[in-house]
Structure 1
């Protein structure tokens, strides 16, 4: 079967890469003839990083998606005699029209307070609806839907999805509040990401892994998104994380793995890119000899392996948290959305989520000390819960295959 994917990428946010690669891996395992087309916001970078023989990368950069692809898809719907010409001129529309299903892998969509992303949330799925291809929204955070604009858009678009997989109980509750009947409770597909010996070898060639000898390293994944939010309120996020690192290295005497889980190596732009942030943090820490910071764009699999070498982890990037939980590393999350807590809830570990709005150095240090003191029990809880969470994540593959198998073109 043919699958189209939008909302994820190989380049930039390695959480998006983990979702994309998990989909390619799992669909290819279940469907030997699987052919996947990625409608990419970073077409050049994604094409350069693509190592999957059955994955084709096409250009769905934001302006092209919003203007050309949406317009051409609408014309495809309204002008049947012109369909062959449109498909020839706009290959992304041709790919959507021939696909059995579109997978929307936007990690968080139709959420109050994220109005500037709402246009992209709608534009990502409209072309498929125009050409008659069913859409499955893969596991993601959705809602709440209390603001007029977001509620209106959600009520117009979400009922038209062939299936929606929520990424936790809070999102599922928001969806049920809209009266939707096309929803399934699930878990992030990135929990199924396979890490191979080749991925481990790549990580070892990129990083001196002897740094992790002794099993006493604390990992930290800062977030450019959180930085923007903190600075909008007058905070100094860089200094905050620097104090965190210095507390670990100076007071606790621990080594620190500083990881940019969202990285674009060839740009200083902050969107989907924590490398510039991590460079600033690293430049101001007191004990650089005790901090490992790979100033590079590593694959999602390599990052998962390296995160798994940590003894404890502090996550502000969502999929860095997913990787640490998948690798059964006790994790303290400092987040900005319900999307963090609802995933921790699947493991029975919601108490290890701290909203950045209540963050102070003292509160953080007290909470981290509590995690460190109970890490053996937390690790046991993770080990017990992970197979169930992974199985829940895999259930959406059944949803995707069911929708794709039943697809009928208008």
Structure 2
């Protein structure tokens, strides 16, 4: 089968990388003849980082996607005699036209309050619709659909999907309110990500693993998205996180692993890149010797291996939370969307989620202290629930294969 993939990438957000690599791993295992084309927003970086022989990287950077690929796909639909010429001139159109299915792996799409991303959400799937290539929206957060533009877009395009996989109960509820008939309840495919011995070795080569020897490390994954929101409120997000780290290293007496779970090593741009943020936090902490920060772009498997060495974790990046839960690490979440809580709900751990706009420094410290005290019970609960969550995530592989096989 031939699988086209859009909305994820190897570079930048390592949650997107985890979704992408999980799809390649799981579909490749079920379909030995599988071939993948990644329609990438970062084509150069992704091509450099691609180690999968069965995957080709093509250019779907935002401007090219929105203008060239959508226009070419529309012309392909309207002018059948030119289809061969269009496919030869635009390899991404040829790949889409020849694909058995397009996997849309946008982690969060068609959501109220994210109007500036709505055009990209539509542009990602519209070429496949023009080319009559079936689309599966892999497990992701969607809704609510109350704002007029988002509701119109959802009503127009979501029924055209061959299948939609919700990523939690709240998303599923939003989709059911739209009376869609193509929705399957699921879980994030990144829960199935395999970390090989080679991945673990690469991770351990990047850091001094003696840092984790005491078994008491607290992982902290800040977010450039939360920083932007804090800046808009006139708050000092860098200072808040630095003070949390100081509380952990000082009051709690524990070392901190500072994690840039979105990272683009070749730029200081902050979109999908927490490295500049983590550098600023590291510069402002009081005891730098007790803070491990890898100022480099690590792969999703390497990050999962290192996150799994933590005793507890504080996550503000969604897939940092997924990796901590997947490795059994008790996790406190400071998030900005229903997408965090609905995943924690799968583990019966929604009480460990705090909304960033309501989370005070004192409140975060209190909840973290409680998590440290209750970590063994929480760890046991994660271990009990994880097999069912992973099995639910794997069900979407059956959905994808059913669509691809027609």
Whether these two folds match at TM > 0.5 is: yes
Question: Hey, what's the Cα distance between the residues in 1 that align with 2:386 and 2:266?
Answer: 35
1:168-200 Cα shifts (integer Å, max 9, x gaps): 000000000011010011000000000000000
Q: What RMSD in Å do the two structures reach over aligned CA positions?
A: 0.4
Partners of 1:122 and 1:129 in 2: how far apart?
10
Q: CA deviation at 1:234?
A: 1.0
Question: 2:140 aligns to what SS in structure 1?
Answer: strand
Matched, 1:76 2:68: no
1:304 equivalent in alignment to 2:304 = yes
Which position in structure 1 is the counterpart of 2:100?
100
Cα offset for 1:396? Answer: 0.1
Q: How many residue pairs align between the two structures?
A: 406
Structure 1 residue 352: Cα displacement: 0.3
Q: How many Å separate the matches in 2 of 1:252 and 1:230? A: 26
In structure 2, how many angstroms separate the alpha carbons of the residues matched to 1:259 and 1:19?
18
Following the alignment from structure 2 to structure 1, what is the Cα–Cα distance between the partners of residues 85 and 65? 18
DSSP 3-state at the match of 2:231 = helix
Structure 1: which 5+ residue stretches go unaligned?
none
* Deviation larger for 367-376 or 5-14: 367-376
Q: Look up the SS of the partner of 1:357 in the other structure.
A: coil
Distance 2:60 2:365 in 1: 43
**Consecutive unaligned residues in structure 2, runs of 5 or more:** none
Tell me the equivalent position of 2:251.
Answer: 251
**Structure 2 partner of 1:313:** 313
How much does 1:262 deviate?
0.2
- 1:20 is aligned to 20
Shift of 1:369: 1.1
Question: Any idea what the Cα deviations from partners look like across 1:194-236, whole Å, max 9, x if unmatched?
Answer: 0000000000111111100010000000000010011111111
Deviations 1:237-275 (A, max 9, x none): 000000000000111111000000000001000000000
Task: Indicate whether 1:44 and 2:38 are aligned.
Answer: no
Residue aligning to 2:157? 157
After superposition, residues 128-207 of structure 1 pair within 5 angstroms as 128-207=128-207
Cα distance in structure 2, aligned partners of 1:304 and 1:155: 37
Choose 34-43 or 205-214, whichever is displaced more: 205-214
> Structure 1 residue runs of 4+, over 6 Å off?
none
Looking at structure 2, the residues matched to 364 and 322 of structure 1 have their Cα atoms a distance apart, in angstroms, of: 20
TM-score, L = length of structure 1: 0.99
What CA deviation, in whole Å up to 9, does each residue of 1:130-170 have, x standing for no partner?
00100000000000000000000110000000000000000
Q: Deviations over 1:32-65 (max 9, x none)?
A: 1000000000000000000000000000000000
Following TM superposition, by how much is the alpha carbon of 1:361 offset from its aligned partner in structure 2, in angstroms?
Answer: 1.2
Measured in 2, the distance between the counterparts of 1:264 and 1:22 equals 20
Residue number in structure 1 paired with 2:241: 241
- Residue 342 of structure 2 aligns with which residue? 342
Q: How many Å apart are 1:345 and its aligned residue?
A: 0.2
1-side partners of 2:3 and 2:19: how far apart?
A: 14
Shift of 1:370: 1.1
